[in-house]
């Protein structure tokens, strides 16, 4: 397992758990939870998290960007133009080219607007960005994103922050079979078993924010998610037994007393 790393846009990461930086009670709590989780990538909402106003607490003061990769995202963007402007700003501020794109369609369920998302992916890829794309769990659209130059496919498990867990394992498995890109579950996980299931069906990683930040004990949940991802990955690599509706004896059928 020491060499079984997550690789995105030719960059190698020792953890398959990606953690968000929003919704925590404080930056101190956020920093500690991320440390406990072992995550090597954290998402940063460029429009919401302070990364440039030095008169206020900076995220960099709590999470060292030299040790943990910042993944700027476009949370809160509802048009392609907003998303493009946000990520270009992130590149100008910190030189970030590995980014997470999300273009939302409406404010109630926060589902992605896939037309705007696909358009944005094409533009950003041509501009040299390495785009990790938040999307719905549609295998056809996932393939179009891959063809448009995406660096990772990030289908939702369920609506953002819902905690419902993976609602459509079949589509996720189809996406897994048809793409060689990193496949990362993004949004909707609620507990550690959700993370394990994602890994067991072949996902390369999971992104978790609300499930940790809003847990009654965030630090304990961060640790649970860490080990769930590891366990799920090991289970996937081990290769599960085939499902069978008939019983199969564990003990030998010969040499009986």
Catalytic positions: 100
Strand partners, 17: 206
CA distance 174 to 226: 26
CA distance 101 to 104: 10
Strand partners, 134: 154
CA distance 10 to 98: 11
Helices and strands, counts by H and E, the chain: 8, 10
Nearest Cα to 137, choosing from 123, 117, 158, 121?
158
User: Do residues 15 and 38 make contact, with C-beta atoms less than 8 angstroms apart?
Assistant: yes
Helix axes 218-238, 27-37, angle to 10 degrees: 30
Phi, psi for 97 (deg, rounded to 5)? -115, -25
Place of tokens 């040790």: 67
């Amino acid at each position: 397992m020491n060499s079984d790393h997550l690789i995105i846009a030719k960059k190698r990461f020792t953890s398959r758990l990606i953690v968000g930086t929003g919704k925590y009670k404080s930056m101190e709590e956020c920093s500690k939870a991320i440390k406990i989780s072992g995550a090597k990538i954290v998402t940063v909402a460029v429009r919401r998290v302070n990364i440039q106003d030095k008169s206020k607490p900076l995220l960099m003061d709590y999470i060292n960007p030299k040790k943990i990769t910042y993944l700027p995202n476009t949370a809160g963007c509802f048009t392609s133009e907003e998303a493009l402007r946000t990520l270009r700003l992130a590149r100008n501020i910190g030189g970030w080219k590995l980014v997470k794109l999300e273009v939302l369609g409406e404010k109630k369920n926060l589902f992605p607007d896939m037309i705007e998302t696909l358009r944005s992916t094409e533009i950003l890829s041509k501009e040299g960005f390495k785009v990790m794309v938040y999307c719905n769990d549609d295998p056809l659209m996932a393939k179009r994103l891959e063809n448009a130059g995406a660096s990772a496919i990030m289908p939702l498990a369920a609506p953002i922050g819902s905690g419902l867990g993976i609602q459509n394992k079949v589509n996720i498995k189809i996406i897994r079979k048809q793409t060689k890109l990193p496949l990362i579950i993004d949004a909707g996980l609620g507990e550690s078993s959700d993370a394990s299931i994602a890994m067991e069906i072949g996902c390369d990683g999971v992104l978790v924010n609300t499930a940790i930040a809003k847990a009654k004990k965030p630090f304990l949940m961060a640790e649970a998610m860490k080990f769930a991802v590891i366990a799920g990955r090991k289970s996937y690599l081990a290769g599960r037994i085939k499902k069978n509706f008939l019983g199969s004896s564990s003990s030998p059928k010969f040499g009986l007393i």
